[in-house]
Amino acid sequence: EIVLTQSPGTLSLSPEERATLSCRASQSLSTTYVAWYQQKPGQAPRLLMYGTSSRATGIPDRFSGSGSGTDFTLTISRLEPEDSAVYYCHQYASAPNTFGLGTRLEIK
């Protein structure tokens, strides 16, 4: 099973700052099979990125994804209060699909 390690566990930043969220895989992954989700309290997750760097419908261009091999990054520029959430990376390159434990982003 591929383990995804997300860091940091919690990130506290101010509006307008940039957030960099990391996701490290225990094995090399094709970029095709990495996605990111945002989850706010009491809500279902929301697809942000697929194929590492492609934004899902309706996702603002402040969100970007990058990476290859075992290291993947979600970057959120110009943070807004509404970005406060938990962010999960997800791989489906190898069964079983796995998620990271999440990064909690707090906007001060």
Partner 1 sequence: QVQLVQSGAEVKKPEASVKVSCEASGYTLSDHYLHWMRQAPGQGLEWMGWINPDSGGTNYAQRFQGRVTMTRDTSINTAYVELSSLKFDDTAVYYCAREVNFGPGKGMDVWGQGTTVTVSS
Binding site for partner 1 (CB under 8 A): 31-35, 37, 39, 44-47, 49-52, 54, 56-57, 88, 90, 92, 95-102
Q: How far apart are CA 50 and CA 30, in angstroms?
A: 12
- In the complex with partner 1, the residue whose CB is nearer, 15 or 60, is 60
- In the complex with partner 1, the residue whose CB is nearer, 88 or 107, is 88
- In the complex with partner 1, the residue whose CB is nearer, 3 or 15, is 3
Distance of closest approach, residue 29 Cβ to partner 1, in angstroms:
11
Sequence-separated contacts (24+) of 45-54 with Cβ below 8 Å: 45/88, 48/74, 48/87, 49/74
- In the complex with partner 1, the residue whose CB is nearer, 17 or 84, is 84
CA distances from 92 to 14, 41, 82 (A): 33, 25, 28
Q: Per the structure block, which two tokens stand in for 81?
A: 């209060």
Distance of closest approach, residue 16 Cβ to partner 1, in angstroms:
28
Q: How far apart are CA 7 and CA 101, in angstroms?
A: 9
